[in-house]
Chain A
Amino acid sequence: MSYKLTDIELSEPLAPIELSTEQNGVGLIARWQGRLIGFEMIELSAGSVMTVERLKALADERFAGRIVVAKLEEELRERQPVEEAALPSLSIAICTKDRAQRLSRLLGSLDRVRGDHSFQFVEIVVVDNASVDAATREAVAGFRDIRYVFEPKAGLDFARNAALHAASGDIIAYLDDDVVVDRNWLAGLAKACRENPGVGGFTGLVLPYRLDTEAQIFFERRGGFGRGFARREFHRTRFDNPLHPVGSGTLGAGCNMAFNRALLIQLGSFDEALDTGAPLPGGGDLDIFYRVLRSGRPMIYEPQYAVYHEHRETIPQLRRQYWTWGLGMMAFLVKSYRTDDEMRAQHRALVCWWFYDQLKALARAARRFRGHELRFGMAELWGGIYGLAGEYDRSRARIQAIRERNP
């Protein structure tokens, strides 16, 4: 099972898409005048051709409406010109551990976009999170103008905090080492910064980097990390969701997020007991989104600020990821239940909702005999139960030990 991932530019004549004999589907990334406007996955028979007619029919239904919206946005911008804020300075922070090859791939993609911008300055900081050999340092040396920081305490949020203090930009944009940035990434972030001065942070679109395995296709089909192609604003409260912002996963994902750096420092930076790597490699993003919103500063989701994420390759890896999602979610909830008294009722309600939702999904999967969905659902549910049963405290003990080993 493998999908061909391909870009189509709708403002130019469309061409048929030919599949090889191993490919049985297409992942279409649609643009209009370079701007990302849609993503669709279509299953086809292996080795077939997606004709221009079929592409057009799909575009009529899925993409045409977004083109009209984009055109209107441009017209409105011209009609009601607004003086927009000057751009601040930007630090791009990449936290990595023993993945020199992927890091080079990401740095390569950043190299292609970093030259053309109007930020006051852009610096790239790579935090080497206790890699076992020198490959990471060597990979960084292959690119110019990159700051290298070594963080001996293993754990993603240790690395994120190291970046936070090593960086000097007003805005700090975090990237995971398993992503590649889109050609609009920097421009998209610049647009979001210019339009929304004073906000607490930004999240962006996450598209799949490749859809070569069953697990990758499954993950993307089940929702992936994508949060759609419309800009969204998140505030401390939300009329249509009384639990907000406790379910802060709706904001986006930690592999592509940016913050006002001073605000993060003021909020006490990332919680190192979350996102510590195995066995708890999650929850840190939920926690920081939540705390930024609770501080009263809004966050913006901007679809042009986009990256491509390399999803887990194999089914066992993916199952583990779902397990850690459940684990991370509950560790985050336990933590914020303890630290944010005002919101306790919402935290309790979210735990109930989460289990109710997981069980509902499991029942649906069971009814339809969907083996994978059932197994993934079980993994996430177990992760949740295990997480609720003291994972946050176990993690705190673990990071204490890490701290003691690295005084």
Chain B
Amino acid sequence: MMKERFEVRHIDLAVANAPVENGPALSIFWWKDLPLGTRASLQDELPYGIPQLRQLTAEYAAAQLEARSINLGAPLRATYEGWPKRALSLEAALKAEDLIESLDEFATASSASAHDISVVICTRDRDPALADCLRSVAAQRSAPGEIIVVDNSSNGNAKGVCGEFPGVRYVHEPQAGLSRARNAGIRASRLNIVAFTDDDVEVHPGWTAEIARAFADRDVDALTGLVLPARLDTPAQRCFQFTMGGFGTTFVPLTFDSRFFEETRPSGAHVWKMGAGANMAFQRSVFERVGLFDERLGAGAAGCSEDSELWYRLLATGGACLYEPRAVVFHHHRSDWPGLKRQMSAYMKGHVAALVVQYDNFGDRGNIVRICKQLPVYFLKTLVKTLFEGQPGRLGILVSEVQGWLAGLPFLLRFGWRKRRIPMRVTAIDAKGIAK
């Protein structure tokens, strides 16, 4: 599985012809503009035959209809583990007719205008990737109101690339840290919706329009979207996608609200299941209510998880976040093993740091349970599984994860670090009477 190069292949199931290409691939299935699911297959399993494509289509389409058609029990809310809770009834299933027609409706590309969206892209010493990213943003079906690039490098080297794209505002934030850069982007932005993506991402042409439609249709404070792999050329990329699960979440829209928060609270509210920072958007009012990104967290500071920590504050104060997979971006995973190991280590370290911050902010003991019990159990289980199944590369990643966890533990003891809060957030929380 790890030896062969996998192609990332897009298949529109609404087109009748079965694909004829061969070779190991991760197929991403669409129904017109609606992403339906992915399936990885080896040479022997390809090409997919017509009966199999029909069956896959029916199963994917049924999931979409249950998630999106009010008649069939939609919308879905996330439950424990982030999976959807279905509300389909026998009666509704028996009555349902012209299902493909409804699917076509849901698959129509958004025609909403993105003029109210500020797109913020934070970058640091990655000019070629940033150029690809900006090209994809420039190709949006509905152009965003403004595009802001926050250059987090010390010498401002991304300025040249930005100059090639008219209409891109360049902001230089020399103090290292993704949270700092993102906050600089928020401060520089002027529109009602702030959408973030990263410099190692290429966005789908409908990305901004879908964000605009989702905020117009649904009364939510924040939004996350689908992050698909752009390429699976190297073993490290395939390991991240297939063994570690990638950024993969489901292909059906889900509402993460206080119920999800309460259900998962005993083990530290599973906010990391809500999405990825590479594809998220907020109503500006969110920042006024719960504060900006915590500058102690994020790449360049304690590690990742600054995104999920903000979602934690959002849900803890009664907000809701919609996961809408129609908003699609393509992420370039780390192509080499050292890069992937650094990333997984940083994820774990940042995760622990964020759990500490969340505990400090809200006093939920579940965060500590997660650090001291759930994560060690996860390491042990993974170890046994890896020894047994022998997934290539997994053991090395596990070592990195444990290293990240160990590096995160001191945050529990660093009281000076823990006291460094952003005043704005504390006021916001105090006003709601939630802080301990």
Contacts and interface: CB of A to CB of B under 8 A. Distances in A.
B62 interface: yes
Contact of B90 (A59, A80, A195, A356): A59
B45 A68 contact: no
B66 A68 contact: yes
Interface in B42-96: 42-45, 49-52, 54-55, 57-59, 61-62, 65-66, 72, 86, 88-90, 92-94, 96
Nearest to B45: A235
A67 B90 contact: yes
Contact of A73 (B43, B44, B50, B58): B58
Contact of B50 (A60, A61, A82, A239): A82
A134 interface: no
B415 interface: no
Contacts of B88: 60, 64-65, 68
Contacts, number: 97
Contact of B54 (A56, A77, A238, A349): A77
A186 B430 CA distance: 70
B44 A235 contact: yes
A64 B42 contact: no
Contacts of A405: none
Nearest to A78: B100
Nearest to A81: B16
Interface on chain B toward A: helix, strand, loop, or mixed SS? helix
Contact of A75 (B49, B94, B100): B100
Interface in A17-43: none
In which size bucket is the chain B interface?
35 or more
A79 B100 contact: yes
B424 interface: no
Contact of A64 (B1, B41, B55, B90): B90
B93 A238 contact: no
B388 interface: yes
Given A64-B92, A356-B388, A80 B66 contact: no
A236 interface: yes
A60 B24 CA distance: 38
Interface string B296-330: 00000000000000000000000000000000000
Contacts of A56: 89-90
B348 to A, nearest CB: 26
A77 B16 CA distance: 11
A346 to B, nearest CB: 12
B383 interface: no
Interface residues of A, number: 39
A311 B86 CA distance: 34
B100 A76 contact: yes
B94 A353 contact: no
Contact of A238 (B16, B45, B52, B86): B45
Contacts of B94: 10-11, 67
B402 interface: no
B152 to A, nearest CB: 38
A231 B51 contact: yes
A71 interface: yes
A68 B55 contact: no
Nearest to B2: A242
A358 to B, nearest CB: 14
B406 interface: no
B99 interface: yes
Given A10-B94, A69-B62, A82-B50, A238 B42 contact: yes
A60 to B, nearest CB: 5
A237 B93 contact: no
23 contacts: A10-B94, A11-B94, A59-B90, A64-B92, A64-B93, A65-B66, A65-B88, A68-B88, A68-B93, A72-B100, A80-B54, A196-B51, A235-B44, A235-B45, A237-B45, A238-B42, A238-B45, A239-B24, A239-B40, A239-B42, A296-B44, A352-B388, A356-B388
Given A70-B58, A195-B50, A236-B44, 20 more contacts: A10-B94, A56-B90, A65-B62, A68-B65, A68-B88, A68-B99, A71-B99, A73-B58, A75-B99, A76-B58, A77-B54, A196-B49, A196-B51, A231-B51, A231-B55, A235-B44, A237-B43, A238-B42, A239-B42, A356-B388
List 6 tightest A-B contacts by C-beta distance, closest first. A64-B93, A72-B58, A59-B90, A67-B93, A195-B51, A236-B44
Interface of B: 1, 16, 24, 40-45, 49-52, 54-55, 57-59, 61-62, 65-66, 72, 86, 88-90, 92-94, 96, 98-100, 388, 390
